[in-house]
Amino acid sequence: MQAFESSAAEIDLEPVAAPAPPLGRAIVITSGKGGVGKTTTTANVGAALAAAGKRVVLVDADVGLRNLDIVLGLESRVKYHLLDVLEEKVTLDEALVRDKRSENLYLLAAAQTREKEDVVTAQMKALIERLRERFEFVLIDCPAGIEMGFKNAVAGAGHAIVVCTPEVSAVRDADRVVGLLPGDWRPELIINRLRPHLVRKGKMLSVEDVNAILRLPLLGVIADEPGVIIATNKGEPLALDAASETGAAYRAIAAKLAGEEVAAPAVKASPGGGFLSRLGTLFGGRS
Amino acid sequence: MSGRRIVITSGKGGVGKTTTTANLGAALAKRGHKVILVDTDIGLRNLDLVLGVEKRIVFDLVEVVEGRCQLRQALIRDKRFESLSLLPAAQTREKEAVSEAQMARVVEDLGALADFVIIDCPAGIEHGFRSAIAGAREAIVVTTPEVSAIRDADRVVGKLTAAGLPLRLIVNRVRPEMVKSGDMMTVEDVCEILQSELLGVIPDDEEIIDTTNRGEPVVLDETSRLALIFDKIARRLDGEIVPFTNFNAPTLFGRLFTLWKAG
Amino acid sequence: MLDFFKSLFKPAPSSGETAKERLRLVLLSDHLSLAPEVIESLKRDLLAVISRYVEIDTDHADVTFEHREREIAMLASIPITGIVDRAPENGVRAPDADVENHVIPSLSRGCPEPVEGGHTELPPADPESIPEPEPVLEPVAIVQAEHEPEPEPEPATQTELEPLPKPKPARPAGVGRSRRRRKKYALIAASAAQTKRSAQAPLDEQASAQA
């Protein structure tokens, strides 16, 4: 059953690829530090872009520790992966998994039982180029760290989103990563897992604190909430949940990326919380 | 006599390896052991920040390996715990600057100087991971009760098992209220899935963010519940049998039910 | 009747439970290096082969994998509702010599009693409505699946007849698939020596050599 679905998907890809419109944007989502929410961000921003009608492919560059498939709930449909394509064992169409919820969203999974060193940077670059011919957005989920996997993930991209949490170690690592990105890029920042009540008590860095150090254009702020864990448990990105405020924040980020003029995410994280919406308006003017 | 050499690893980043290393090290030191912490996350070091000794770094791991300083010169002694020291990672170098054999050598040398050498491993399973485990004799795998963290931990458990390292599990960031509502996997689930023995359970506690901001291991504050938990883990590591804290304290009914079942 | 009420009040699986189930499948797939889809078709094919010999209740069949110390075992619990008429014209013959060698002898070893004991009279349509006098937890057959690369003779696991279901560590209410179903035969397929973990990469060998 699933096999039929995915082969149907392969067929309907072809005509779209034919007209060859301008190349899409390849954006790497990176952070240096692990566990700050790169994969969740990739999945949600991708899902939101697709829901807004953009053609999107998400590339999991975390060879050996893939997780984008789980976060999207597509793990049972992954048959082939990035390295299969790079090594020409299967065609790109065979390896692309179409999202079950959106016609516009595709996943190219990473190999799980291989090593990051198996990826040849030049081939990765060429692959991203091919994807850009067919998709408006190519979002690349970068592995943690700054080793080979990071280099390969960045290779084909033309833009970066840096995900950072308001914690000293995450900010330090983000700063390091920004320094390793090509000098002519202007990476954008997503601050993730903000706990407004802790900021208020002075126990957590504020958005301003973080960005006083990183000084990057702010793309969005996402609050820490249990809903994110629940969504990952289920494999359903929050961006598709119309009732979720976090989902709304992701949709706002997607709209911004797509070039729309949007007010910065007016997240309300806590019941009391005019705090984040205040932050929202603060940063709305700046970016 | 050689001290125990334990690597703290996880696969996935951001699950609390560094915080665990710092606090477990401090807890062991507090119990009178001589402890050396090694930050192997070359290029993305953070253990210095968590311990609050970042301003006192003079030499680092890479300089030791390259023979530009003595091993003892590179060790930073913690001012709060006399028997706790840190060997920091280099920040502006690549992980490849230290080979597996070189790392194994350094860790072995440190073993002669301490009761416990605790190695903070970088995220991922690349070169940094391989060299971090090279000198270790046992491992602690830190994970959180989240799907992606467990999947990555599973990869690491496989690799550690293949390398012949005995391992135990610390489940971090457990949110009892989410476990109770069924929105988070239980610690038992995690152990069952990873088929590993449990060493400790750490609840998600905002205190840790605060103490990390200030560079003070939470263990310093003896009244905090996290200090108690790290002390328990340290004792278990030391061979004591210490019962696990039950964060989902059972209701009276639950307790009766358990009694009845046991009977 | 009780089942009906149970199903009325059965809560949807919690997200924690969902997470656990998803992880099980995905890790199995990681360990076997088989796509989840392939694992699903393996289960389907397994049931198809068995149903050529006996009538089974596919809705309540349960094929799971279990990690053991050094291997992955495939465990199947498949309720048998009746015996297929084994006249040759019914096409019961296994085209595959392997299947013939393994399955049929095992069946003939484990099955004669149920056949004579009147199980053939059971209406196959709804086995659950028939109250069984006693829970029958009796191994019926063994299918051995030896792993090609490293056969690793472990007679203990491979020949043992093991009754199913194993008591699972507490599932939350409503998740247990078939708590009331008593008539349950165990069909056990063991076991693939888990080569993935022991042979992960040259780097691991190096490390273990050092250790």
> Do B212 and B50 form a contact (C-beta atoms < 8 A)?
yes
What per-residue string of b and e applies to C121-138 under the rule 16 or more CB within 10 Å gives b?
Answer: ebeeeebbeeeeeeebee
Q: Is C104 helix (H, G, I), strand (E, B) or coil?
A: helix
Confirm whether C99 is domain-assigned.
yes
Nearest CB partner across the interface for A147, out of B91, B127, B147: B127
Selected residue with higher pLDDT from B5 and C15: B5
Q: What's the rounded mean pLDDT across residues B3-22?
A: 97
Name the DSSP letter for residue A284.
H
| Domain-embedded: residue C80 | yes
B7 has pLDDT over 90: yes
The pLDDT, as a whole number, for residue C32 is 84
| Greater pLDDT, A273 or B59 | B59
Question: Angle, nearest 10°, between helix axes A275-286 and A207-214?
Answer: 30
Residue C38 or A136, more confident? A136
Q: Of B140, B148, B131, whose CA–CA distance to B171 is shortest? A: B140
Q: Would you list the domain boundaries of chain A?
A: 2-14+23-286
pLDDT at C188: 41
* Domain extent for C85: 14-168+178-200
Q: Which residue in B230, A80, B100, A138 sits closest to C35, CA to CA?
A: A80
At B83 the three-state DSSP class reads coil
Q: Which two tokens stand for residue A25?
A: 């944007």
Domains of chain B in sequence order:
4-262 (3.40.50.300)
Comparing CB atoms, the residue among B151, B158, B185 nearest residue C20 is B185
Measured between its terminal Cα atoms, the distance across chain C in Å is 61
Residue count (chain C): 211
Residue B180 in contact with partner chain C when CB distance is under 8 A: no
Measure the N-to-C terminal CA separation of chain B; round to a whole number of Å. Answer: 48
For the four alpha carbons of A260, A263, A264 and A265, in that order, the dihedral sign comes to: negative
10 Å CB burial of residue C210 (0-12, 13-18, 19+) is middle
C31 sits in which H/E element: helix C15-32
Q: Supply the angle between the helices A38-51 and A245-257 in degrees, to the nearest 10.
A: 70
- pLDDT, tens only, C30-77: 888 887 778 888 888 999 999 888 999 888 888 887 766 667 788 888
In this prediction, residue B199 carries a pLDDT of 98
Task: Find out whether B40 and B122 touch, Cβ atoms under 8 Å.
Answer: yes
Which amino acid is it at C205?
Answer: E
Considering only residues B245 and B68, tell me which one the structure prediction assigns the higher pLDDT. Answer: B68
Q: Which of C15, C35, C201 sits opposite A78 (nearest CB)?
A: C35
Which DSSP category does B37 fall into? Answer: E
pLDDT of C88:
52
Q: What share of chain C has pLDDT > 90, as a percent?
A: 1
Nearest CA in chain C to A79: C35
Domain count of the fold of chain C = 1
CA distance C208 to chain B (A): 4
pLDDT tens for each residue of B168-202:
999 999 999 999 999 999 999 999 999 999 999 99
Q: Which residues pair with B142 in a beta bridge?
A: B170
Band of pLDDT at residue C3, cut at 50, 70 and 90: low
Compute CA distances C6 → C3, C132, C172, C187, C188, whole Å: 5, 20, 13, 28, 30
- Nearby residues of B88 by Cβ (< 8 Å), 6 or more positions away: B39, B45, B47, B48, B53, B57, B60, B61, B74, B76
**Confidence class of residue B121 from pLDDT cuts 50, 70 and 90?**
very high
- Written as six digits, the tokens of A246 are 């976090």
- Residue B75 is predicted with a pLDDT of 97
Please give the mean pLDDT across all residues of chain B: 92
Exposure class string for A24-58: b at 16+ Cβ within 10 A, else e:
bbbbbbbbbbbbbbbbbbbbbbbbbbbbbebbbbb
Query: What CA–CA distance (Å, rounded) separates C34 from C26?
Result: 10
> With an 8 Å Cβ cutoff, are B212 and A148 in contact?
no
CA angle A124, A105, A122 (to 5 degrees): 5
Q: Three-state SS for A233?
A: helix
pLDDT, residue A47, reads 98
Calpha distance B26→B33 (Å, rounded):
9
Report pTM: 0.75
Q: Return the minimum-mean-pLDDT range out of B65-79, B124-138, B147-161, C162-176.
A: C162-176
More confident of the two residues A2 and B159: B159
- Which of C15, C197, C199 is closest, CB to CB, to B183? C15
pLDDT of residue C5: 53
Chains A, C: CB contacts within 8 A come to 39
| A234-250 tens-digit pLDDT | 999 999 999 999 999 99
The interface residues of chain C toward chain B in range 32-71, judged by CB-CB distance below 8 A, are 67
Q: Identify the bridge partners of residue A56 per DSSP, sorted by sequence position.
A: A105, A137
pLDDT at position C103 is 36
Q: Which parts of A86-143 are beta strand (E)?
A: 97-98, 105-108, 137-141
Mean pLDDT along residues B204-225: 91
pLDDT in tens, B227-238: 999 999 999 999
Q: How far is CA B159 from CA A62, A113, B126, B139, B237, in A?
A: 17, 11, 11, 11, 22
Asked if pLDDT for residue B255 goes beyond 70, the answer is no
Quick: pLDDT tens for A28-79: 999 999 999 999 999 999 999 999 999 999 999 999 999 999 999 999 999 9
- Listed in sequence order, the residues at least 6 apart from B157 whose beta carbon sits closer than 8 Å to its beta carbon are B141, B167, B194, B195, B196
Q: Least CA distance to A69: which residue of chain C?
A: C26
State the pLDDT at residue A161: 98
Q: Taking 50 as the threshold, does the pLDDT of residue B20 lie above it?
A: yes
Mutate to test the interface with C, among B131, B184, B185, B197 (most CBs of C within 10 A): B185
Q: Of A112, A230, A235, which is closest to C22 when you measure between CB atoms?
A: A235
Q: CA A45, CA A230: separation in Å to the nearest integer?
A: 17
Q: What is the token pair recorded at A178?
A: 């920004």
Cβ pair C30, B153 in contact under 8 A: no
Q: Do C37 and A77 touch (CB under 8 A)?
A: yes
> Is the CB of C204 inside 8 Å of chain A's CB atoms?
no
**SS3 per-residue string spanning C46-85:** HHHHHCCCEEECHHHCEEEEEECCCEEEEEEECCEEEECC
Contact A50, A105 (CB under 8 A): yes
| Residue B44 with chain A: CB contacts under 8 Å | 32-33, 145-146, 172-173, 176
Please, which contacts does B224-230 make with residues 24 or more away whose CB atoms are closer than 8 Å?
A: B226/B23, B226/B202, B227/B27, B229/B200, B229/B201, B229/B202, B229/B203, B230/B23, B230/B24, B230/B26, B230/B27, B230/B202
| Cα(C112)–Cα(C114) distance, integer angstroms | 6
What letter represents residue C8's amino acid?
L
Q: Residues A28, A160: contact at Cβ < 8 Å?
A: yes
- What whole-number distance in Å separates Cα of residue B170 and Cα of residue B158? 16
Q: Is residue C195, in this structure, part of any structural domain at all?
A: yes
Cα A67-A70-A74 angle, rounded to 5 deg? 125
Is C162 within 8 Å of chain A by CB? no
Give A70→chain C minimum CA distance, Å.
8
Q: What is the structure's pLDDT at A69?
A: 97
Model ipTM value: 0.89
The least confident of A97-106, A109-118, A133-142 is A109-118
* B147:A232 CB<8 A: yes
Q: Is residue C122 part of a domain?
A: yes
pLDDT of residue C34: 82
Residue C75: its pLDDT value, please?
86
pLDDT(B263) > 50: no
Query: What is the structure's pLDDT at A6?
Result: 47
User: Residue B129 in contact with residue B7, Cβ under 8 Å?
Assistant: no
- The whole-angstrom distance between B122's CA and the closest CA on chain C is 17
**What does the alpha-carbon distance between residue A48 and residue A62 come to, in Å, rounded to a whole number?**
22
C77-96 confidence digits (pLDDT tens): 888 888 776 655 444 444 44
Nearest-Cα distance to chain B for A45, in Å, is 18
CA distance B24 to B172: 13
Q: Which of A225-239, A246-260, C6-20, C163-177 has the lowest mean pLDDT?
A: C163-177
DSSP state letters, C153-195: --HHHHH----SPPPPS-PPTTTSS-TT---EEEEEEEEEE-H
**In the prediction, which pLDDT does A256 show?**
96
Give the gap in angstroms from C-alpha A233 to the nearest C-alpha of chain B: 6
CATH dotted code for A2-14+23-286 = 3.40.50.300
- Rounded to whole angstroms, the Cα distance separating A85 from A128 reads 11
What's the pLDDT at C37? 79
Phi-psi group of A258: left, alpha or beta (phi > 0 → left; psi -120 to 50 → alpha; rest → beta): alpha
> Which of A112, A115, A230 lies nearest to residue C30, judging by beta carbons?
A112
Cα dihedral sign for B168, B174, B176, B181?
Answer: negative
Could B164 and C207 be called an inter-chain contact, meaning their C-beta atoms sit closer than 8 Å? yes
Q: Length of chain A in residues, anyone?
A: 287
Residue of B162, B185, B189 with shortest CB distance to C198: B162
Instruction: Evaluate whether A241 touches A256 at the Cβ level (below 8 Å).
Output: no
- What average pLDDT does the segment C129-155 reach? 40
Residue C107 has pLDDT above 50, yes or no: no
Integer distance in angstroms from the first to the last C-alpha of chain A?
46
A76/C37 Cβ within 8 A: yes
Average pLDDT over residues A143-160: 95
Is the CB of residue A45 less than 8 Å from the CB of residue A127?
no
C contact residues 119-178, partner B, Cβ 8 Å cutoff: 169, 172
Q: What are the backbone angles phi and psi of residue B154, rounded to the nearest 5°? A: -60, -40
Chain A residues in contact with B174 (beta carbon < 8 A): none
Residue A173 has pLDDT above 60, yes or no: yes
B186 touches chain C (CB under 8 A): yes
Angle of the A168-180 helix axis to the A207-214 helix axis, nearest 10: 30
Higher pLDDT, B43 or C126: B43
